[in-house]
Amino acid sequence: MRRSAVLLSASLLTLPGCAGSVDGAGPAGSSASDGSSAATVSPEVATAVDAGVVSYREYVLEQARQTREASAVFTDAVRAGELEAARAAYAPSRVGWERIEPVAGLVEELDGKLDARVDDFEGVEDPDFTGWHRLEFLLFERGTTEGGAPLADQLDADLATLERELAEVDITALDVATGATELVEEVSRGKITGEEDRYAHTDLWDFAANIEGAVAAVERLRPALEAQDPQLLADVEAGLAEVQAGLGPYALPEGGYASYETLTEQDRRRLSAQLAALAEDLSRVPGALGLE
């Protein structure tokens, strides 16, 4: 995925569902919170960022809708007792969520219900352990759909609530800027180890979706960064292209990705290094565009 970087706006958003201001952001050219001097951005750059944020918000809502619909295929199979169909639908049901995970996480009460792993609970039988990974354990570790219907019902309900609440969430330019970095860091610091989908081993699906989400944020704010810091844009584009190329050999002809267990140690190390470098480049974007 050869694209660009995520940014910020010194101007304020006043559109319905968008933030009236960027939390912690001062005027362009002001000192950043770490004492460094933020770059000065022109009105044209600020306007380009604002337009990108509006477009990104539309993308978020579309991904939330797609997640709800894809998950319905998954949960229908669980309720029907169709084990293999449910297993096949598990990874695709998560793609939209993984693309927008940092923004979806702004609905805090749902983040843990939908996507928490067993590590956050007393064990797999903890009644608070719900969502995708609870069903993943049932389907892939225990090899059954028995007892999954209530969990499937709750997943459907929680995703419907997420879609409604995201429509009311304020998304700032800073959310877009940091979200791309967070998506890459999440892969670099966690998913690259295979810890996310430890029963299904579908981590590469999540990995790819996280990168796709970073690309989506970057694309919408590309004009601003191109005007403000073309070299940083080139660095981010090169990093995204490297990561995509690294995933390419694991892509399946029918769509999706091979099991995480097929990832070689050499490729894991290489991808980890590439992701760390990409995250570092993305972390420079807010300063380059005048955001604290």
The structural domains of the chain, ordered by start, are 43-288 (1.20.1420.20)
Q: Is residue 1's pLDDT more than 80? A: no
Instruction: State residue 257 phi and psi, 5-degree precision.
Output: -135, 155
Contacts of 199 (CB under 8 A, 6+ apart): 133, 136, 137, 139, 140, 141
Q: What's the pTM value of the predicted model, to 2 decimals?
A: 0.86
pLDDT > 90: what percent of the chain?
76
Question: What is the pLDDT confidence band of residue 37, given thresholds at 50, 70 and 90?
Answer: low
Look-up: residue for tokens 């797999």?
124
Q: What interhelical angle do 203-220 and 83-99 show, nearest 10? A: 30
Q: Is residue 2's pLDDT more than 50? A: no
Q: Is residue 84's pLDDT more than 80? A: yes
Sign of the C-alpha dihedral computed for residues 216, 280, 192 and 156 taken in this order = negative
Instruction: State residue 31 phi and psi, 5-degree precision.
Output: -75, 140
Whether the Cβ atoms of residue 32 and residue 292 lie closer than 8 Å to each other = yes
Which two structure tokens, joined as six digits, stand for 206? 């999540």
* Alpha-carbon span 7 to 291, nearest angstrom: 8
Question: What is the pLDDT confidence band of residue 292, given thresholds at 50, 70 and 90?
Answer: low
Predicted local distance difference test score (pLDDT) of residue 41: 86
